[in-house]
């Protein structure tokens, strides 16, 4: 009987110890998770000294370059690991030659996807816009809407004109504006994109039109700098002030 009581007491003690051990383990796991979440939080960044600005500046320039190449959706954890390994002279998980090949392939694929999407969006916009009241579409695909009808001269292909204009992408982003600068622009009719050349010769002095220009009549598959991506349809508010 005493032996049975002893065994029961021993088993009860083991269970209590196991429960205590499990409770402590769960507490430790919870603590470690909290520490991990704390480590994931971005640390405050202070840029005060010239060296601070230089260090941060290199990050800005590198990220800007990556973003312009369509590589802004990278795994930031692995990206930072690659930076650390190179700077610390650690063995690389991907060698430089292979890195160049895979990165170039990635940029090419992303660029093609973005160009295809932008081209489809531009075409869809122009198709829908061409069905609206007041929109005229020419044989070339140029679309325009007359907001103010002028009564002056029409320019010819070799004339120079003075205009006010504001240019926007189809999402509304403004990329250029003589109105914002407060200074009208003067140029030759045949010295601008073909959509403008065609539209200007249809306008009369004093006219205000909204032009909807397909990419083929604008900057095409190359775009223009950082402001006008490839395959972009463009919208211009144009006032023909004078034929020179």
Give pLDDT tens digits for 26-39: 787 788 777 767 66
Active site residues: 165, 175-176, 193, 219, 236
Distance (Å, whole) CA 58 – CA 205: 51
Distance (Å, whole) CA 139 – CA 214: 12
- Residue 243 in contact with residue 186, Cβ under 8 Å? no
End-to-end CA distance of the chain: 120
Confidence band, pLDDT 50/70/90 cuts, at residue 20 = low
- Of residues 152 and 128, the one with the higher pLDDT is 128
Rg of the chain over all Cα atoms, to the nearest angstrom: 32
Task: Please report, for residues 63, 108, 186, 216, the alpha-carbon distance to residue 102 in angstroms, rounded to integers and kept in the order given.
Answer: 18, 10, 47, 32
The fold of 77-244 is: Chitinase A; domain 3 (3.10.50)
Structure tokens at 67: 């973003």
pLDDT of 139 over the 80 cut: yes
pLDDT of 236 over the 90 cut: yes
- Of residues 41 and 210, the one with the higher pLDDT is 210
CA of residue 236 relative to chain centroid, distance = 21
- Sorted by where each begins, the domain ranges of the chain are 77-244
pLDDT of 4 over the 80 cut: no
DSSP result, 201-224 = TT--TT-EEEEEE-GGGTTTTT-B
At residue 14, the pLDDT reads 52
240 DSSP β-pair partners: 163
User: DSSP 3-state assignment of 127?
Assistant: helix
Structure tokens at 141: 């695909």
User: What mean pLDDT is predicted for residues 161-169?
Assistant: 98
pLDDT of 225 over the 80 cut: yes
Q: Please tell me whether the overall predicted TM-score, pTM, comes out greater than 0.85 for this model.
A: no
- Residue 129 in contact with residue 135, Cβ under 8 Å? yes
What average pLDDT is seen over the chain? 88
Place of tokens 């430790």: 28
User: What mean pLDDT is predicted for residues 124-147?
Assistant: 98
For residue 164, the surrounding DSSP H or E stretch is strand 160-169
At residue 13, the pLDDT reads 52
What backbone torsions phi and psi does residue 136 show, to the nearest 5 degrees? -110, 135
The least confident of 2-6, 67-71, 238-242 is 2-6
At residue 177, the pLDDT reads 97
For 129-138, b/e burial (b = at least 16 CB within 10 A) is beeeeeeeee
Distance (Å, whole) CA 205 – CA 162: 10
Contacts 24+ apart (CB under 8 A), 102-108: 103/71, 106/71, 107/69, 107/70, 107/71
Structure tokens at 237: 């508010």
Beta strand residue intervals within 6-129, DSSP E = none
């Amino acid at each position: 009987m005493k032996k049975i009581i002893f065994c029961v007491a021993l088993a009860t003690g083991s269970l209590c110890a196991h429960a205590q051990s499990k409770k402590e383990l769960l507490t430790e796991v919870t603590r470690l998770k909290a520490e991990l979440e704390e480590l994931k939080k971005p640390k405050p960044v202070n840029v005060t000294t010239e060296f601070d600005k230089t260090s941060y500046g290199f990050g800005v320039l590198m990220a800007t370059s990556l973003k312009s190449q369509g590589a802004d959706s990278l795994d930031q954890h692995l990206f930072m690991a690659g930076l650390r390994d190179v700077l610390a002279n650690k063995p690389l998980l991907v060698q430089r030659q292979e890195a160049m090949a895979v990165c170039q392939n990635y940029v090419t694929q992303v660029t093609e996807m973005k160009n295809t999407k932008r081209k489809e969006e531009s075409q869809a916009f122009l198709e829908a816009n061409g069905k609206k009241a007041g929109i005229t579409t020419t044989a070339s695909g140029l679309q325009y809407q007359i907001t103010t009808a002028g009564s002056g001269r029409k320019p010819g292909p070799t004339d120079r004109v003075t205009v006010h204009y504001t240019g926007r992408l189809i999402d509304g982003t403004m990329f250029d504006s003589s109105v914002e600068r407060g200074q009208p622009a003067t140029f030759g009719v045949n010295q601008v994109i073909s959509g403008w050349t065609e539209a200007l010769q249809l306008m009369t002095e004093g006219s205000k039109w909204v032009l909807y220009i397909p990419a083929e009549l604008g900057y095409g598959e190359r775009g223009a700098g950082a402001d006008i991506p490839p395959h972009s349809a463009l919208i211009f508010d144009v006032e023909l002030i004078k034929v020179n």
